[in-house]
């Protein structure tokens, strides 16, 4: 299964990546899949701008480097890619189920060595 398909199927990735703010990442997924020919004209123009190329690649890249700023979705996209790779590597695992629950891990901050409330 291709990354773009995995990303956009509600029964696999839920609706997490369906919003308009994820459109750039969906274009990147198409490029990772080697499916630049499936991009719309607007997405093709974005892909050319992102890659700095004048012609889009015709196949899947061996490596991908993405420069993205803060709060750009890098961690979520990397998690998606890791899950997709794992699902492709181990297809004999349990079948995919819809994401019906979200799991949150509590993060506790460690006390700093310097207290911000101490007198200066």
Q: Provide the pLDDT for residue 95.
A: 60
Cα-Cα-Cα-Cα torsion 39, 45, 49, 52, nearest 10 degrees, comes to 80
The encoded tokens of residue 5 equal 């398909």
Mean pLDDT of 57-69: 87
The phi and psi torsions of 96 (rounded to 5 degrees) equal -65, 145
User: What element of type H or E holds 56?
Assistant: none
Buried b (16+ CB within 10 A) or exposed e, 93-116: eeeeeeeeeeeeeeeeeeeeeeee
pLDDT of 30 strictly over 80 = yes
CA 67 to chain centre: 13
Find the range with the poorest average confidence among 48-62, 73-87, 96-110.
96-110
Of 29 and 111, which is predicted with more confidence?
A: 29
CA distance 55 to 53: 5
Of the given ranges (11-25, 34-48, 63-77, 94-108), which has the lowest mean pLDDT? 94-108
Question: What pLDDT score does 89 carry?
Answer: 75
> Under a CB-based contact definition with an 8 Å cutoff, are residues 29 and 3 in contact?
yes
Domain ranges of the chain: 3-89
Question: Does the structure show a pLDDT above 80 at 114?
Answer: no
**pTM for the full predicted model:** 0.71
Section 64-86 average pLDDT: 88
Distance, in Å, from the CA atom of 23 to the CA atom of 89, rounded to the nearest integer, reads 26
Query: Would you place residue 67 in the very low, low, confident or very high pLDDT band (cuts 50, 70, 90)?
Result: confident
């Amino acid at each position: 299964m291709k990354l773009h398909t995995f990303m956009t199927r509600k029964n696999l990735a839920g609706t997490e990546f369906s919003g308009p703010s994820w459109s750039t990442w969906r274009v990147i997924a198409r490029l990772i899949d080697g499916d630049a020919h499936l991009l719309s004209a607007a997405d093709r123009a974005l892909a050319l701008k992102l890659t700095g190329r004048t012609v889009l690649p015709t196949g899947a890249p061996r490596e991908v480097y993405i420069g993205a700023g803060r709060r750009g979705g890098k961690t979520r996209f990397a998690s998606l890619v890791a899950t997709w790779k794992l699902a492709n590597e181990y297809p004999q695992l349990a079948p995919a189920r819809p994401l019906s629950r979200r799991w949150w891990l509590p993060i506790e901050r460690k006390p700093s060595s310097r207290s911000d409330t101490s007198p200066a």
